[in-house]
């Protein structure tokens, strides 16, 4: 092995150990840590991440990265993916000091704690000061980010989005989002004018946490998640995270009168977990396991949550078991009524509970607000009113308080540029679903009672190269085409034309 590459691999291994420990503590913060202990754990994370930062910012390490990048053509795909990843990190952190990194980490951990308090008290003012600091450190990231030779940033916000979806710019998204918005508005108008009546009353019947836990465990089994490699917990905000190659953590939350919120969360986060579990083992060996973009990840999670989870065949599969788990809910509900209810379209306030048709508007609102902050001078004090205004204009609903409005998402306690990945993910999965349907009998595989057959296709075609290709290369490798919203909008139009008998 090349001596410089061997040196790089050894240092990356040590860095990964620190980051592994940091992830474990962060998981504890989001699931078990009492409020009073948040600061101490946050300080511990900051110190651990500082040690990881020192490893990758050692002059010998940076020299090795630059040298290896110059001769990257001499290495195989996996080794080159590691070199390219480390080069991108170098460009991001080249102009940062360990003091800057440590300060950023402290601000983010304090902001997370403040967000929790503010959301509980429904008071944006308790979070606004921390949010201003988070915005400022993101402005710093934009200024300090060194531009690579092949990179194209059309504005500062592109730099933030690039952290999550490499190569996608505001220019790209504005084109696709405008097309999506036009077709979406037309579809919503048709649905509003439909005479089809869909029953949804049973979706709000109270259930116990014990019942929801049973449903969660059942769904994990149906999805084919390996119980020996999965930890399941409850948290304020549902998430999935890879701790190590054989340690994936999945969390959800329970709402007594909204059992489908938990169902959707488990399917969504379970999709993330499957992506991490079924990626090639070699990706962990070469420390490129997290080279996937958020758009790739969201394509998979929303594929399992919506494309599979809200399909007629899947509702037919889970219906008998749900009758047993939730007898008070399904005592007089037919399977067809269940299918129609989970595909009911109505504007709502909470993004994570939105239906497939209106969900993209939630993302569009956040995208426009984030662009407003970083490109158009939108002030923090204006956010609650601007948020409410957009919800009223786009969805016809107005939040009653900050908790169901501007405070509903945790993401702004640390990052910006994340939300567009949700819609990009929808575009991706609609594209590869069209290929999947041509190659395997999706309905039969769902009807078998477990999604292992679908998982195998995903593993071979979607997961296999996700850590070694750029997003644009990856989607073209899977589908032979460049990114477009057309497949996604056609999927929505065809599905809801049937559901609403348009």
What average pLDDT score do residues 72-79 get? 95
Rounded to an integer, what is the distance from CA 251 to the centroid of its chain?
A: 13
Read out DSSP for 31-57?
A: HT--GGGHHHHHHHHHHHHHHHHHHHT
* CA gap 183, 200 in Å, rounded: 26
**CATH fold of 172-499:** 1.10.1370
- Among candidate residues 187, 182, 177, the one with its CA nearest the CA of residue 363: 177
pLDDT, residue 151, reads 83
> In this model, does residue 150 exceed pLDDT 80?
no
Give per-residue pLDDT as tens, 233-282: 999 889 999 999 999 999 999 998 999 999 999 999 999 999 999 999 99
pLDDT for the residue numbered 201: 96
Overall size of the chain counted in residues: 502
| CA gap 345, 488 in Å, rounded | 17
pLDDT bucket at 393, cuts 50 / 70 / 90: confident
Distance of CA 210 to the CA centre of its chain: 27
CA angle 103, 108, 112 (to 5 degrees): 150
Cα 283 to the chain's mean position, in Å?
20
Structure tokens at 64: 């090795």
pTM of the model: 0.89
pLDDT in tens, 436-453: 999 999 999 999 999 999
Q: Where are the domains of the chain?
A: 3-146, 172-499
What pLDDT digit, counting tens, does each position of 302-344 carry? Answer: 999 999 999 999 999 999 999 999 999 999 999 999 999 999 9
Q: Could you say which DSSP state residue 374 is in?
A: H
CA distance 154 to 173: 12
**And the tokens for 334?**
């037919």
Q: Beta 230-234 vs 247-252: how paired, if at all?
A: parallel
Whether 435 and 300 have beta carbons less than 8 Å apart is answered as no
Alpha carbon distance 487, 115 (integer Å): 37
Cβ–Cβ under 8 Å, residues 415 and 132: no
For 430-474, give the DSSP string: HHHHHHHHHHS-HHHHHHTTSTHHHHHHHIIIIITTTTTS-HHHH
């Amino acid at each position: 092995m090349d001596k410089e590459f061997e040196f790089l691999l050894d240092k990356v291994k040590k860095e990964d150990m620190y980051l592994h420990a940091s992830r474990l503590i962060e998981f504890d913060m989001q699931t078990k840590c009492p409020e009073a202990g948040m600061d101490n754990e946050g300080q511990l994370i900051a110190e651990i991440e500082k040690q990881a930062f020192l490893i990758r910012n050692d002059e010998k390490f940076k020299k090795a990265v630059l040298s290896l990048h110059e001769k990257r053509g001499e290495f195989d795909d996996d080794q080159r993916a590691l070199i390219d990843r480390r080069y991108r990190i170098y460009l991001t952190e080249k102009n940062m000091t360990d003091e800057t990194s440590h300060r950023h980490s402290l601000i983010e951990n304090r902001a997370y704690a403040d967000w929790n308090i503010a959301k509980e008290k429904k008071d944006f003012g308790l979070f606004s000061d921390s949010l201003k600091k988070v915005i400022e450190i993101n402005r710093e990231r934009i200024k300090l980010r060194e531009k690579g030779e092949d990179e194209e940033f059309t504005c500062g916000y592109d730099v933030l989005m690039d952290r999550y979806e490499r190569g996608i710019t505001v220019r790209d998204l504005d084109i696709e989002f405008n097309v999506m918005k036009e077709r979406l508005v037309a579809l919503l108008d048709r649905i509003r004018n439909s005479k089809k009546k869909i029953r949804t009353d049973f979706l709000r019947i109270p259930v116990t946490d014990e019942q929801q836990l049973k449903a969660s465990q059942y769904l994990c089994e149906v999805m084919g998640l390996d119980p020996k490699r999965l930890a399941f917990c409850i948290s304020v905000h549902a998430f999935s995270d890879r701790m190590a190659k054989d340690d994936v953590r999945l969390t959800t939350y329970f709402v007594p009168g909204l059992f489908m919120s938990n169902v959707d969360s488990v399917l969504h986060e379970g999709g993330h977990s499957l992506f991490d579990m079924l990626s090639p083992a070699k990706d962990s060996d070469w420390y490129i396991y997290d080279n996937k973009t958020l758009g790739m990840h969201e394509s998979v999670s929303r594929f399992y949550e919506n494309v599979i989870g809200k399909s007629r065949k899947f509702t037919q599969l889970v219906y008998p078991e749900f009758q047993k788990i939730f007898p008070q809910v399904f005592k007089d509900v037919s399977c067809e009524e269940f299918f129609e209810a989970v595909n009911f379209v109505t504007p709502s306030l909470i993004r994570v509970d939105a239906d497939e048709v209106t969900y993209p508007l939630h993302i569009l609102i956040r995208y426009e607000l984030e662009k407003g902050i970083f490109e158009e001078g939108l002030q923090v004090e204006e956010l609650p009113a601007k948020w409410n205004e957009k919800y009223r204009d786009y969805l016809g609903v107005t939040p009653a308080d900050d908790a169901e409005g501007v405070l509903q998402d945790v993401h702004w306690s640390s990052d910006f540029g994340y939300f567009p990945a949700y819609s990009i993910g929808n575009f991706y999965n609609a594209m590869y679903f069209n290929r999947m349907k041509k190659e395997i009998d999706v309905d039969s595989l769902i009807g078998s009672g477990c999604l292992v057959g679908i998982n195998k296709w995903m593993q071979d075609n979607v997961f296999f190269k996700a850590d070694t290709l750029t997003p644009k290369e990856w989607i073209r490798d899977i589908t032979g085409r460049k990114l477009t919203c057309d497949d996604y909008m056609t999927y929505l139009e065809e599905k809801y034309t049937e559901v609403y008998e348009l």
